[in-house]
Amino acid sequence: LRDEKIECCRFSRDGMKPFLFCTVAKGSKAVTVVWNISDWSRIGYKRLLGKPVSTLSVSLDGKFLALGSQDGDFCVVDVKEMEISHWSKKVHLGSPICGIEFCPTERVVISTSPQWGAELTRLNVPADWKEWQIWLILLALFLASAVLFYVFYQNSGSFWSGTPRRDVIDLPSHAEF
């Protein structure tokens, strides 16, 4: 630990998983380390940005982590998989990114640097399902099952109604024997 330097730290934000994300530099190598803050056990580490990190941010839903570099690049990491889902190179053309934040409602980040000011970047990450979209799918499934039930009911003879189906042969009654 003597030659390791903690660069940036952020807590998870979703409230369900008590994590601490830290970027640690050891010489020219940098890794992102995740600790479980309920028992301070180290969950794991991964080399993500591959260079010293100047800023770190966690999305409001806790699903994404943004890492800004000293040379103006940044990446966005899917926290669940700890894989890079977006990479932007030379956003600030060699100037260190001093701040990076997620938009609360969209998959957009704002990054800032002293030389280039603020830059907005739309992320190419999968969109989240909205609650109304899930309810709409459930309603569509319910309506489709109601329509199918009606179609099957209309096209089949009912045992309880006493009306025979047209494709069934009538059997002779007892009186005819």
Q: Where are the domains of the chain?
A: 4-122, 129-160
pTM of this structure:
0.67
Q: Per-residue pLDDT tens for 30-62?
A: 899 999 988 989 999 999 988 888 999 998 888
Across the chain, what does the average pLDDT equal?
83
pLDDT at residue 67, as a whole number: 93
DSSP, collapsed to helix, strand or coil, labels residue 170 as coil
Q: Measured between alpha carbons, how far is residue 126 from residues 86, 107, 134, 149 in Å?
A: 10, 9, 16, 36
> What residues have CB less than 8 Å from 51, skipping those under 6 apart?
28, 30, 69, 70, 71, 73
Are 111 and 119 within 8 A, CB to CB?
yes
Three-state secondary-structure class, residue 150 = helix
Written out in words, the top-level CATH class of the domain with range 4-122 is mainly beta
How far lies 37's CA from each of 15, 41, 42, in Å?
12, 7, 9
pLDDT at 111: 92
| DSSP state letter for 151 | H
pLDDT at 163 over 60: no
